[in-house]
Structure 1
Amino acid sequence: MTRLLTSLDSSPSHRSSSSDSQKRKLDGNGDEDLLPMMKRPKVSAKSLNRSESTRLQVLVRMMSGGKTIVIQADKNDTVEQLHHRIELKTKIPKEHCLVYQGKQLRLGHYLSDYSIEQDSSLHLRALKITKHPFAWELADNILEAVSRMLRGDLSVSVSDILVTFFVVSKKFRGEYLEIFLSSSVPAALVKLYASSLEINKSCAERSIKLVFDKCIELHDDQRRCFLPIVLEFFRLLRKVCPRNELYVSCRNTLGSVLELVYSSDESRSSLLSIGDEIFPCLKDLVKLMVKQLVDDDDDDNSGPCSCDVQKLSSFWQPLSYSIQNQAKLFTPIALPLQKDVLGKLYHVFGELLNAMGKGMLRLESLLARGGAVTAQYSQYLAILKIVSSMSELYQGGEERVAMLLSSRKASFGALILKFTKRGEDDDHQWIFKYKEATTFESRRHLAMLLFPDVEEDYGEMHEMLIDRSNLLAESFEYITEASAKELHGGLFMQFKNEEATGPGVLREWFYLLCQEIFNPHNTLFTRSDDDFRRFSPNPASKVDPLHPDYFEFTGRVIALALMHKVQVGVLFDRVFFLQLTGKNIGLEDIKDTDRIMYNSCKQILEMDPECFDSEAGLGLTFVSETEVLGKRKTKELLKGGKSIAVNSKNREQYVNLLIRHRFATLVSEQVKQFSQGFSDILVDTASFFKRLYVEDFDCMLGGGDNLISIDDWKAHTEYNGFKKTDRQIRWFWKILKKMTEEERRSVLFFWTSTRFIPVEGFRGLSSKLYIYRLHEGKDHLPTSHTCFYRLCLPKYPKIALMEQRLRLIAKDHVSSSFGQR
């Protein structure tokens, strides 16, 4: 008999219906080519008499590993006839296909075409999932192998079939994984794991871990496809073995996949319905955290593990997303809580918050005894971040967290200082929800994280050679022409015709340059009437066409001074600082900036309404009058403001518009340019100024405002060539005590190029101070090495001579660079 390869359409025995056409289309997308089919001759009536040798008994397994039925047939029957017998017995319609050895059987062909033998197993599949028959076959083989192992047959290998399944699934990853799940393979493997036979349990464990390993090996976008499978294993294992290693491994894998899904906006929609599913994971991990935080009697307790905290975060993020996005507009809920995930989560939140309180109390006790923050506390901030996020779901939740952190301000600040690092992915923004619970040191630390590290490699530094007589113009040129990247490497500074270089010269340059920039004669900034060190942008600066560039330059200089930890002695007016934070300016904010305007606005707001609206009232309209360089200018605060009278009903609006115009609008361009220059030096887009209070910025830029303590100065000074009991050393400190505050600062500047010490006092300097003995003439002037905080004194024979020499270097024109090296 001649066998001819033909297409399905050319087979004379096949008559395609619409459903058959659909099948052909689906089959065409399958994994492998169909078996070659034979074109059969017409069968005579006589040949229809079936012999015993052609009779068949086949086993037909229902969909997805269901029950198996026995069907009587003949080798000369068509596949369509076999379908008819199955339909009569099972009531399952023909919109299904039969699969034998991974091949789909065509309706118009005969059973003998496929070499179907006695007692062969066929599989019934729905058409919509039959484009991967080989995958279904492998899934069924896994189920059959598990069934045989449960019956005691140890000759089969589930792992080998699994390996084959994942090898051939590469092309159709997601579709194969759907088949894997729909076939109930996870349930079969967990059932095998629950077997009383150790060999079955071991085989199942290897197989399940193989699935997890295959998941972890994939690229991120492919690994997301495993979420339904890992979630199914998690559900099943939680029922069978919620405490053992395999369950923990499954939970960790689930956390990793959830983290990936949460990081993808396109995939997040798959998280909306699984809140109830993943809550037990979070609860388990929180229970573990609470034990580690509270159990301080356990000597082996090293605190929460970073891996566990990471997994807690990986479950919390999608759970939070699921909760908040199931409602179109989520608002924090009030108690009493319903018995759903939100209700259960509230108790978990409370337990974790209380445990954190106990852990931080233990840390605070340690700090009070002079102890240091150890690695045991390294995960506290990460846990607090999760607790803070949980608190957003409940009315009063954030207040509970704020109350805890405020009561543990010392430990909260210590944790921030120890465990927040430059360059971390975490932007630490959550901390600033509780800004009032932070310390100055911790706020300063977080703000300084936005700057790059100062390079110690001179080759990476931006070099400047400045003429003292042309300090401002040459500095402007060097700083504005440099790129931000060049400035990030740090500065190398030298004055022309001077040999001195190093950090001391750089500190001196910063101080002298800021004295020039903020000199009111340059019209860039105006000085506060109440504090000669405090400045704000001058609206009249616009008379200089280069004023935008100079404000950008000033922003860079101030940021560079902060980056190099130099206190330049300049303070910003509160109004200027608030503008840099993007906040609105109110009446009380201008109190120290413009006392006259403050009192006038106060009078307008507090004046008796009847008197204000009477003919004897102030007669104001919605205009602002300002004087710039001797010229008065009028500006309407509203459209048509000249004709709008200010009365008792709109006077508050008038005051607000007046303040906005005077302190925001008139200097908006200057503030914008300063902000741009300042931001050039940062390596992070987060707002530097929002991390601080104005008082913090004062301390960072201007140093402490207390008088210099001679005792503190002496406690942080060491000697070389002298002993602290030598008479010259006793004379030195006695003379400093007799000096005025300005004279002391001048001596300090001559010694260190620092006129303003940090808020912590001398311990805040980068090094101790040193007094060296100068072995030259006993009547010479002192010299200094400002880079090393080193003052060199001759061994003066008399106190009067020492005092005369010290008072000479305390003069401003001498303390700046004279005698320095």
Structure 2
Amino acid sequence: MMAHWEVRTLPDGRVYYIDHLNKITTWTDPRIAGPAVPYSRDYEAKYRLFRHNLPRPRSNAGNQLELHVNRKDIMESSFRAVMSVRDPEALKTRLWVVFDGERGLDYGGVSREWFLMLSREIFNPYYGLFEYSTIDNYTLQINPLSGLFNEEHIKYFRFIGRVVAMAIYHGKLLEAFFIRPFYKMLLSKSITLADMESVDREYYQSLKYILDNDPEDLDLYFVVSEEVFGELREHELKPDGQHIQLTQQNKQEYIDLVIKYRFIQRIATQMNAIKQGFQDVLPLESIKMFDEKEVELLISGLGEINVSDWRTYTMYKGGYTPDNPVIQWFWKAVGSLNAEERTRFLQFVTGTSRLPMNGFRELWGSSGPQLFTVEKWGDRTKLPRAHTCFNRLDLPPYENYQELRQKLTQAMEMSEAFEGVD
């Protein structure tokens, strides 16, 4: 092991590695890891490095790309305008967006408006390309049945990939928030059972039960069933899966195949089209300095988080009340966070940086509306623990503000170093 690295083992047997020089932790053995990625816990510092390293358009691509679009037909007119560009290098030149029938000079404001308007349309589940996750009605996932809604859906997914990369390249934001596995797929990162929990709680619990128990009495086979327009369809997870019974010996393979099918295979064609469109503008390698949470911020930005609204619509359990000193210190700590840290904390406790249109009073959990909750738990030696499916923070009864602030920060950093929270 290299001088500044240390290897440790968790109680469940999982091995992880500590880089004392850069103060990071990772599951990946540094001796077999790929090329080093510039790392910083400061998203803004990473972003500045990313902007500095952005590839410039070729000199023969021109200086400006003029896009003519129609407000009343923003989706189709934008599709035609963007996909008619023969040389993708032109998509990296200065954007000049013109709305039909309107006069105006685009010095950034018009193109910013265009990206926001367009994102509200292309990610609208009405068009069938995306659907809301099973957890809530404001995080999106690719619709595996998109081809039934649009025969040219693959062309549209490539268009979407171009738009996402264009927005990133030109420093504009999109009004779109996806399930965590979407961002991980963009980064070509593995999707784990923990990722399932924030998308489909019931499915996660079923797989977790299989993982923790002997499944032979369940009489299950390497087949998954899903309902398509009222019709139950079966899919074999591997060849002849309908004749391969789930056992204690093969249950990990079964879980891995279920996750692969649920998040990757069903939407592989659509996701590949998005990646292809993205790479028309930017190499996917260019965003791999970011983790999946940071890619969400890269695409959608740092939303404004109103701490007063958050505090108003918070519940307390386990003996905590709004007047408890620990709760007072907690809100003082949240209020002391800057915009980036506050967004990361929201991600830590809810799994997403996005809020419903009407703020914290409409937060959703795994089984419907669920206000943010702070519950008394553990002792002061423990770190705060987040349950993203329930929008709940387990907060130990710390003895002073400084201790609480330190433990809260440490818990957030641990959640970034290790994928998933309990």
Question: Are the equivalent residues in 2 in contact too, given 1:705–1:759 (CA < 8 A)?
Answer: no
Q: CA deviation at 1:504?
A: 1.1
Q: Which amino acid is 1:510 matched to?
A: F
- The one of 133, 147, 160 aligned to 1:542: 147
Residue 664 (structure 1) aligns with: 264
How has the CA–CA distance of structure 1 residues 645 and 568 changed in structure 2, closer, same or farther, with 3 Å as cutoff?
same
Give the CA deviation at 1:688: 3.1
Q: Kindly tell me: are residues 628 and 491 of structure 1, through their superposed partners in 2, closer, same or farther at Cα, counting changes over 3 Å?
A: farther
Offset of residue 398 of structure 1: 5.1
Moved more, 593-602 or 662-671: 593-602
* Alpha-carbon distance change, 529 to 658 in structure 1, aligned in 2, over 3 angstroms: closer
> Percentage identity across aligned positions?
29
| 1:431 CA drift (Å) | 4.5
Q: Which amino acid aligns with 1:508?
A: E
Letter in 2 for 1:467: N
Amino acid at match of 1:484: P
Paired amino acid for 1:528: S
Q: Which secondary structure state, in structure 2, belongs to the residue aligned with residue 514 of structure 1?
A: helix
The letter of the residue matching 1:535 is L
- Tell me the distance in 1 between the aligned counterparts of 2:44 and 2:234: 46
For the residue of structure 2 that corresponds to 1:572, the secondary structure is: coil
Alignment gaps of 5+ in structure 2: 7-17, 25-33, 309-338, 343-422
3-state SS in 2 of match to 1:405: coil
Structure 1: distance between partners of 2:83 and 2:56: 21
Of 286, 289, 298, which residue of structure 2 is paired with 1:688? 286
Within the candidate set 81, 85, 89, 1:478 is matched to 81
Give the whole-Å Cα distance in 2 for the aligned partners of 1:600 and 1:568.
35
CA deviations over 1:568-588 (Å, ceiling 9, x no partner): 231232111122222222110
Partner deviation per Cα, 1:382-403 (whole Å, 9 max, x = no partner): xxxxxxxxxxxxx333518931
Matches within 5 A, 1:343-382: none
Code of the aligned partner of 1:474: S
Match of 1:558 among 149, 160, 164: 164
- Number of paired residues? 288
The answer to whether the Cα contact below 8 Å between 2:191 and 2:259 also exists between their aligned partners in 1 is yes
Does the Cα contact within 8 Å between 2:222 and 2:237 map onto a contact in 1? yes
* Secondary structure of the corresponding residue to residue 539 of structure 1: coil
Distance 1:442 1:581, change over 3 A: same
* 2:57 is the counterpart of 1:440: no
CA contact (8 A) 1:454 1:563 kept: no
The match for 1:90 is: none
Contact 1:530–1:592, Cα closer than 8 Å, also in 2: yes
- The superposition leaves residues 425-461 of structure 1 with CA deviations (integer Å, 9 ceiling, x where unpaired) of xxxx8541x63x5432233234334534599xx9722
Name the residue aligned to 1:632.
232
* Distance verdict in 2 for CA 1:469–1:627, change over 3 Å: same
Q: How does 1:457-476 map to 2 (within 5 A)?
A: 460-476=63-79
Distance 1:629 1:480 in 2: 32
More helix by share: 1
Q: CA deviation at 1:510?
A: 0.4
Match of 2:251 among 632, 639, 651: 651
Q: What does residue 297 of structure 2 align with?
A: 699
Mapped partners of 1:560, 1:534: distance in 2: 21
The CA deviation string for residues 155-182 of structure 1, in whole angstroms up to 9 with x for no partner, is xxxxxxxxxxxxxxxxxxxxxxxxxxxx
Partner deviation per Cα, 1:286-316 (whole Å, 9 max, x = no partner):
xxxxxxxxxxxxxxxxxxxxxxxxxxxxxxx
Q: Distance in 1 between matches of 2:52 and 2:138?
A: 27
**Distance 1:708-1:495 versus aligned 2 partners, 3 A rule:** farther
Give the Å deviation of 1:760: 8.7
1:61-81 deviation per Cα after TM superposition (whole angstroms, max 9, x unaligned): xxxxxxxxxxxxxxxxxxxxx
Structure 1 residues 760 and 651 mapped into 2: Cα distance closer, same or farther (>3 Å)?
A: closer
- For 1:499, the aligned partner's letter is R
Give me the whole-angstrom Cα distance separating, in 2, the residues matched to 1:553 and 1:469: 19
> CA–CA distance in 2 between the matches of 1:645 and 1:709?
51
Is the Cα–Cα contact under 8 Å of residues 223 and 236 in structure 2 kept in the other structure? yes
Match of 2:22 among 405, 430, 442: 405
Residue by residue over 1:74-111, the C-alpha shift from the partner in whole angstroms, topping out at 9 and shown as x without a partner, is xxxxxxxxxxxxxxxxxxxxxxxxxxxxxxxxxxxxxx
Structure 1 residue 623 corresponds to structure 2 residue 240: no
SS at match of 2:22: helix
RMSD of aligned Cα (Å): 2.9
Please tell me whether the aligned partners of residues 452 and 563 of structure 1 are also in contact (alpha carbons under 8 angstroms).
Answer: no
Kept in 2: contact 1:699–1:759 (CA 8 A)? no
- Following superposition of structure 1 onto structure 2, how do residues 174-189 of structure 1 map, counting pairs within 5 Å? none
Which amino acid counterpart does residue 662 of structure 1 have in structure 2?
R
1:489 equivalenced with 2:87 (yes/no)? no
The answer to whether the 8 Å contact 1:454/1:490 transfers is no
Larger strand share, 1 or 2: 2
Q: Which runs of 5+ in 1 are unaligned?
A: 1-394, 408-428, 711-757, 762-821
Distance 1:402 1:442, change over 3 A: farther
Q: CA deviation at 1:696?
A: 0.8
Measure, in 1, the Cα distance between the counterparts of 2:223 and 2:131. 23
Residue 500 of structure 1 pairs with residue 98 of structure 2: no
Report if the CA contact (8 A) 1:464-1:492 is conserved: yes
Which string of whole-angstrom CA distances, capped at 9 and with x for unpartnered residues, describes residues 318-367 of structure 1? xxxxxxxxxxxxxxxxxxxxxxxxxxxxxxxxxxxxxxxxxxxxxxxxxx
Superimposed CA distance per residue, residues 174-193 of structure 1 (whole angstroms, 9 cap, x where no aligned partner): xxxxxxxxxxxxxxxxxxxx
Which amino acid is the alignment partner of residue 164 of structure 2? Answer: I
Greater relative contact order (Cα < 8 A, sep 6+): 2
What is the alpha-carbon distance in structure 2 between the residues aligned to residue 688 and residue 603 of structure 1? Answer: 39
Alpha-carbon distance in 2 for matches of 1:581, 1:490: 27
Please give the alpha-carbon distance, in whole angstroms, between the structure 2 residues aligned to 1:646 and 1:541.
31
Residues in 2 aligned to 1:661 and 1:686: alpha-carbon distance in whole angstroms: 23
When normalised by structure 1's length, the TM-score is 0.33
One-letter code aligned to 2:273: Q
Contact 1:622 1:645 in 2 (8 A): yes
Structure 1 residue 567 corresponds to structure 2 residue 173: yes
| Residue number in structure 2 paired with 1:524 | 129
2:235 counterpart SS class: strand
Cα 1:705–1:524 shift into 2, 3 Å: same
Closer, same or farther in 2 for the Cα pair 1:459/1:447, shift >3 Å?
closer
Aligned to 1:579: 185
2:305 aligned counterpart, secondary structure: coil
Counterpart of 1:601 in structure 2 is 207
Check the 8 A contact 1:526/1:538 in 2, yes or no: yes
Q: For residues 287 and 270 of structure 2, what CA distance do their matches in structure 1 show?
A: 16
Written as runs of structure 1 = structure 2, the 5 A alignment for 1:280-319 is none
Give the C-alpha shift of residue 468 in structure 1: 1.1
Which shows bigger deviation, 532-541 or 671-680? Answer: 532-541
Determine which of 671, 674, 677 is the counterpart of 2:274: 674
Q: 1:492 Cα shift?
A: 0.7
> Deviation digits for residues 675-700 of structure 1, max 9, x if unmatched?
11111112xx4613422112111222
